[in-house]
Amino acid sequence: MSSKREQLETWSTLVADTGELAAIRALRPVDATTNPSLLLALAKQGSPLLDEARRLARQLEGDDDPALCCDAFATLTGQTVLELIPGLVSTEVDARLSFDITATVERARRLMALYRELGVDTERVLIKIAATWEGIRAAEILEQEGIHCNLTLVFSLEQALAASQRGATLISPFVGRIHDWYASRGMVIDSPEQDPGVISVRAIFRTLKGLGLDTIVMGASFRNTGQIEALAGCDRLTISPALLEKLADDAGTLTRHLDATDIELVPEQPQMNEASFRWSLNDNPMACDLLADGIRRFARDQEALEALLQAEN
């Protein structure tokens, strides 16, 4: 019998949630995602790409600007990852720009310029942006320019709708962090069917498909294989190497839970505007808390990566 990973791959595109090149070689995913936390972990291991990033930054700007060095390191890592996979890589914009439309657009353009400098086909790159109102508006501009975006840190249907209505190529609704938020407040979660993170991603998937929206839904942030299995059939699933290995080692039978072809079209939803978006977040303590926390975490790791690049210069 085929493994659960093999069964899952017949319904969902599997994405490696790592920048670890050895893991990507071993796991052979279709796509890969990176973020500042994963890049920092890679840098702490003494990646040879750090020196290359400094050289690239000097070549382009003549100095060792830490933000540019970080972007160079991110794109060099992305280039290396793309040599190992057939699909796409996501590269994240500095989380400290999450509330600045113009700065996010400019940084995304710079990341794409760096990829072009490296000779990378930019059609294989997704620019990853936090799903704040400003991030979604920046993605709208970038998508119109032909730069495809991955809206991350999605914790609510309203975030998903706003991003999809504005043409985002892909969204990353999180499971594990939602699970943790409710569990830390005393909710007893005995099965994936009761898991609020799983329930959230299922609702997002079914709503977007029911509205006929083209945005790819990629479930993210998993704590266990049960959460992943409960989302079998989601467009994409970005999974850590450890959980991918567990799925590969499990020969049990998997059931498909999501199928866009079985979802009836529903009446069109009103376009999310700034006021309705901000109110929806304000009225959802979980989504509000987790979006802010996710941005803070990525920002701190970005700062740590910049400090590491400067310290070793």
pLDDT at 19: 81
For residue 22, pLDDT over 70 is answered with yes
pLDDT at 176: 97
pLDDT at 312: 59
Secondary structure in 3-state letters for 82-94: HCCCCCCEEEECC
Could you give the percent of the chain with pLDDT greater than 70?
A: 98
How far apart, in whole angstroms, are the C-alpha atoms of residue 141 and residue 146?
9
pLDDT in tens, 45-78: 888 898 899 899 888 876 678 899 999 999 999 9
For residue 4, pLDDT over 60 is answered with yes
Mean pLDDT computed over every residue of the chain: 94
Measured from the Cβ of residue 142, the count of other Cβ atoms closer than 10 Å reads: 23
pLDDT band at 269 (very low <50, low <70, confident <90, very high): confident
Q: Do β-strands 216-219 and 170-173 pair in parallel, antiparallel, or remain unpaired?
A: parallel
Q: What one-character-per-residue DSSP string does the chain give?
A: ---HHHHHHTTSEEEEE---HHHHHHH--SEEE--HHHHHHHHHTT-THHHHHHHHHHHHHSS--HHHHHHHHHHHHHHHHHTT-SS-EEEEPPGGGTT-HHHHHHHHHHHHHHHHHTT--GGGEEEEEE-SHHHHHHHHHHHHTT--EEEEEE-SHHHHHHHHHTT-SEEEEBSHHHHHHHHTTT----SGGG-HHHHHHHHHHHHHHHTT--PEEEEB--SSHHHHHTTTTSSEEEE-HHHHHHHHH--S-------GGGPPP-PPPPPP-HHHHHHHHHT-HHHHHHHHHHHHHHHHHHHHHHHHHHHT-
For residue 304, pLDDT over 70 is answered with yes
Is 246 part of the annotated catalytic residue set?
no
Domains of the chain: 4-311 (3.20.20.70)
Could you give the percent of the chain with pLDDT greater than 90?
A: 83
The tokens of 6 are what?
């093999």
Q: Do β-strands 125-130 and 89-92 pair in parallel, antiparallel, or remain unpaired?
A: parallel
Catalytic residue, chosen from 44, 128, 209, 246, is: 128
pLDDT at 58: 87
Return phi, psi of residue 20, to 5°.
-70, 115
pLDDT in tens, 165-216: 999 999 999 999 999 999 999 999 999 999 999 999 999 999 999 999 999 9
